[in-house]
Amino acid sequence: MYKNFLKPLFDRMLALVLLILFLPIMLIVGILIYLWDSRPILFIQERPGYKGKIFKIYKFRTMTNEKDENGNLLPDELRLKGIGKFIRSLSLDELPQLFNVLKGDMSFVGPRPLLIEYLPLYNERQKKRHDVKPGITGLAQVMGRNALTWKEKFEYDIYYVENLSFWLDLKIILLTIWKVLKKEGISQEGRATMEKFNGNN
């Protein structure tokens, strides 16, 4: 009952309330990004959701559009700086995903939606992460986020899917607030973002 009825209901109700509360902050963040590096303000990308269904995820853009002499974007760690780095450190870039939750594409808690290109790389056990809606936060995020290895992240994702409950969701939400305040696990050591998943060896 919780997974199929109460959780989606709580998600949409809370998303609506938080969108109203955080609207002034979102407007300020949007203006800062525009003044810092012009447009686009939002980062929009297709990601696989529940049962692998593709949806568009919304985030505030935190990297510049800087390119090298050949017209290619610079590496992530060189483009994550200034206002973008500050926004990322406070996880404010995740706020537009409240619209994803309101639309029903995502939940507040669940495995993070990864890249479409990873879909054929999962083994049968790892595919279980799509048995629930992806989340703004998840067990892997509070246990280390980008500081974890891919193997560790998938194990936490699958544990969540197999043990989903109201109390587990509540625990993850409280831990998320604590982690954001402490700014833990934002990036993998030596990188601005997590290295790409290249399959199982």
- Give the list of residues 6+ apart from residue 78 with CB closer than 8 angstroms, or none: 66
For the cut 70, the answer to whether the pLDDT of residue 152 exceeds it is yes
pLDDT in tens, 98-142: 999 999 999 999 999 999 999 999 999 999 999 999 999 999 999
- Axis crossing angle, helix 82-89 with helix 7-37, rounded to the nearest 10: 160
The model's confidence at residue 81, banded by pLDDT at 50, 70 and 90, is confident
Q: Which residue has the tokens 């982690």?
A: 179
pLDDT for the residue numbered 185: 55
Does the pLDDT at position 184 exceed 70?
Answer: no
pLDDT higher than 90, residue 21:
yes
Mean pLDDT of 54-59: 97
This prediction has a pTM of: 0.87
DSSP letter string, 53-92: -EEEEEEE--S---B-TTSPBPPHHHH--HHHHHHHHTTG
